[in-house]
Structure 1
Amino acid sequence: MKLKDKVKPAIPPLEAGVYMAVCVVVADLGDQYSEKFKKSSRKVVFSFDIPTETVEVDGEQKPRQLSKRCTFSVSKKGNLNKMLNAWMNANMSEQELGELDLFSLIGRGCQIRVTVSEDGAHNNIEDVMALPKGMPAPQSDTAPITYDIDEDGFTGEKWDALPAWMREAIEKSDQYQQDPPDKPLDMPAESAAQEGACPI
């Protein structure tokens, strides 16, 4: 048995440039603690399929998929505000953005400006922009995924549908840490004593 036969080769990153894409995932990652800022902030992740660029997964050709994580905030200074207004070619106020259902963006086409990390190992989405006027949205057969940490919890179909890396990110959230699904049930001391007692 040789190690090189067991280690999967890394997928090379896409070339830097602008690609036509479609949103297939909107997931709430919960409150994530930042060592840099010494506080937690709510995060949301958007994943985009690039139908013109494919990669082999389990013997099948599937669209390349890239993701962008944003702080959940309507502030005009925030990346989410800038991204959504550019994507929708709009100039929405903070109040209007607050009323926007992010899950409604599933299936919406866009242009994404992709860069390559300094080490050349992976891609980053720098900008999400509206499609040129009159251009139809790219189509993808990828099953759409939406996830709300407060409503969908940490078990069930929606949880299972999330990519493993998203579940791992959510497991680091304050919400998961405070109430993990395998948390032992609190039991009154008297009941606990009876539970552990041997029958006479």
Structure 2
Amino acid sequence: MKFLYLADLHYARHHAGQTLTRWRWYVHSFGPMANEAYSLFERGTREGWLSANVEPRRDEEDSKTVFYNTNEVVPSDMMVSVGKVREWIKRFGDDTPRLLRYVYGSTEPMDGAREGEPLDFSRAQPLDAAPLKGRSPTNEEKRRFAEISARLKARYDSMAAANATVSDGPRDSAFFRDLPVDDERIGGEVVLTFKGR
């Protein structure tokens, strides 16, 4: 659901607030919601290009979360081929808390939105226009960041010192003689040939 919202947001940022899907997005307790998305999920499950995995929620008794996965063939009218959305999926796909922080804290329609109210995509601006101002980190967050940075630096320095003593061996005539020679053939196939063997 969140990635469909982000697809509409990205489109709206470059089309004067008009969304790609034309769905009516509103604020729900779990974030941006569109009833049309559920219809799409049901259609996908029925037609077989989506599969639903239902898992019990840990935070609420008798509540379930449904994860939808695309199967091999997705109808072309359902494909979101927006590069920015692919980037978001890569960035947030396995990090739900980070995705939620981004959706709630860094997207214009969610800024100041209230439960049940429609989201206003006309406020969406290209990213290079005027970034939203986030809150400053707390002293505790600054302290934790400094602590983590110091640990990472110490680990990096330790690995750099260990690597400084490693030699990658001599690069004499025998080394260069035994390097493979690549030969590109018609059709783009590349074959490596070892001269010494």
Q: TM-score range by the shorter chain?
A: under 0.3
Which structure carries more helix by proportion? 2
* TM-score normalised by structure 2 residue count: 0.21
Larger Rg: 2
Which structure carries more strand by proportion? 1
* TM-score normalised by structure 1 residue count: 0.20
Higher relative contact order structure (alpha carbons within 8 Å, sequence separation ≥ 6): 1
